[in-house]
Amino acid sequence: MAHSKSHSHGHEEIGHVVPESTFLKVLVALLALTVITVLAAQVDLGKWNIVGALLIASVKASLVIAIFMHGKYENKIIWTYIVIPFILLAIMIGGIFTDDPFRVHPVPFGAQAQQAPAAAAPGAAAHH
Amino acid sequence: MSAVAHPIVDHNVPAGEPPHIHHMDTVTAYGAAKLGMWLFLATEILLFAVMFCSFAIMRYYHLAEFHDASKHLNIWAGGFNTIVLLISSFTAAVAVTKAQKGDNAGVVKNFGISLVCGLIFLAVKGYEYSEKAHHGMFPFVWNSDFYHYKNFLGLYFCMSGLHALHVIIGMAILYWYGIRPAMRSRFSGKYYTPVELGALYWHLVDLIWIYLFPLLYLVG
């Protein structure tokens, strides 16, 4: 009834009706992924800890956008609005990390010299 | 004369009917409202994106500090809050389906659960903040024992504080645009735009926390 005509603009509904059972499945998946994130963080994987955590978070975020926020059923214009901020975020992060680590900072960055990643930043190392 | 007698959006209609909109049909108005909401959500994501950039660069320069400082956060409180927000997001999504089926009582109930979850989230957050305050873990307090955690703590309080502000605003939206009109049987399959847009805002709050929790509490 309610969802049989959900792909057309029926007389009663103007948007897509997602059955509540779908939302429940997504909730279970999100809770399971949360448990996996917490468990994965207990194992020391070095720099892969943050990569794994961000990957799992992105899977969770995709589920929320696609199902909870009805993103799966939206048109291309809305999808443009969904994707653009993430592209801009990637450009910002990419821009920061292709620029700042290679600069020679006039003052050593931060008070704790032992934490300065001199080895990873050739520009900063040249300053000493 | 007509400008006053016929406002651009006229909500003076029978319950369940969409408002009269001066220059649009109902379906166009629904699509336009949703598009506008997504544009606003894009600016919200970019607001937090700047903070995530700050976090990335500060973590790059102060890796050891971030690792140590994040161990002082309460994983159980953060994990509990994650679960609370996920459940509240689920009920907000269900409320939209309820509204589409014309079940106004279902909107009140499900948005009500989301609102209570928001309160629980804020209570736990307040407990965490008071714990931090008790131990002097505030950023930029120069004589604190935790002054050397100032970069992490500064970002922690900024990011989680701005997020908590969004939780408060989201609760107001859920009540004002969802629960209150639904108690007057305002929504139906023909008109549920405020429920869907309010739920979108609430999902965004959840979305931000999905990234904040692992970054602040788990990997540091």
Assembly ipTM = 0.89
pLDDT tens digits along A68-105: 999 999 999 999 999 999 999 999 988 888 877 777 66
Residue B102: pLDDT above 70?
Answer: yes
Q: Which among B46, B61, B86 is the nearest to A31, CB-wise?
A: B86
pLDDT tens digits along B150-200: 889 999 999 999 999 999 999 999 999 999 999 999 999 999 999 999 999
The long-range contacts involving B132-138, CB below 8 angstroms and separated by at least 24 positions, are B135/B72, B137/B72
Which pLDDT does position B14 carry in this prediction?
86
Tell me how far apart the alpha carbons of residues B71 and B152 are, in angstroms, rounded to a whole number: 11
Higher pLDDT: A124 or B45? It is B45
Across the range B113-136, mean pLDDT stands at 94
Residue B191 DSSP code: B
CB atoms within 10 A of CB A114: 6
Global confidence as pTM? 0.85
Residue A120: pLDDT above 60?
Answer: no
Which of A36, A59, A81 is the best substitution to test chain B (most B C-beta atoms within 10 A)? A81
**CB-CB under 8 Å, A86 with B62:** no
Q: Tell whether A41 lies on the interface with B, counting CB pairs under 8 A.
A: yes
Q: Minimal Cα–Cα distance from B161 to chain A, Å? A: 20
Written as one letter, the residue type at A118 is A
Q: Which among B41, B60, B189 is the nearest to A117, CB-wise?
A: B60
With 0-12 / 13-18 / 19 or more C-beta atoms within 10 angstroms meaning exposed / middle / buried, residue B116 is middle
How many contacts, defined by CB atoms under 8 Å, are there between A and B? 154
Residue A113: pLDDT above 60?
Answer: no
**CB-CB under 8 Å, A54 with B82:** no
Residue A44: pLDDT above 90?
Answer: no
Q: Which among B42, B53, B93 is the nearest to A81, CB-wise?
A: B42
Residue A2 CB-half CA count within 13 A: 16
Tell me how far apart the alpha carbons of residues B118 and B172 are, in angstroms, rounded to a whole number: 10
Residue A1: pLDDT above 70?
Answer: no
Written as one letter, the residue type at B77 is A
pLDDT above 90 as % of chain B:
70
H or E element that contains B20: strand B20-21
**CB-CB under 8 Å, A9 with B27:** yes
Q: Tell whether A6 lies on the interface with B, counting CB pairs under 8 A.
A: no
Residue B2: pLDDT band (50, 70, 90) is very low
Residue A21: pLDDT above 50?
Answer: yes
Residue B135: pLDDT band (50, 70, 90) is confident
Average pLDDT, chain A: 78
**CB-CB under 8 Å, A15 with B214:** no
Collapsed DSSP state (helix, strand, coil) of residue B21: strand
Provide CB contacts within 8 A for A100, sequence distance 6+. Answer: B57
Q: Tell whether A32 lies on the interface with B, counting CB pairs under 8 A.
A: no
CB atoms within 10 A of CB B157: 17
Tell me how far apart the alpha carbons of residues A61 and A54 are, in angstroms, rounded to a whole number: 10
Lowest mean pLDDT among A25-39, A51-65, B138-152: B138-152
Collapsed DSSP state (helix, strand, coil) of residue A45: coil
pLDDT tens digits along B18-40: 888 877 888 888 999 999 999 99
Which pLDDT does position B35 carry in this prediction?
95
Lowest mean pLDDT among A26-30, A90-94, B76-80: A90-94
Q: Tell whether A57 lies on the interface with B, counting CB pairs under 8 A.
A: yes
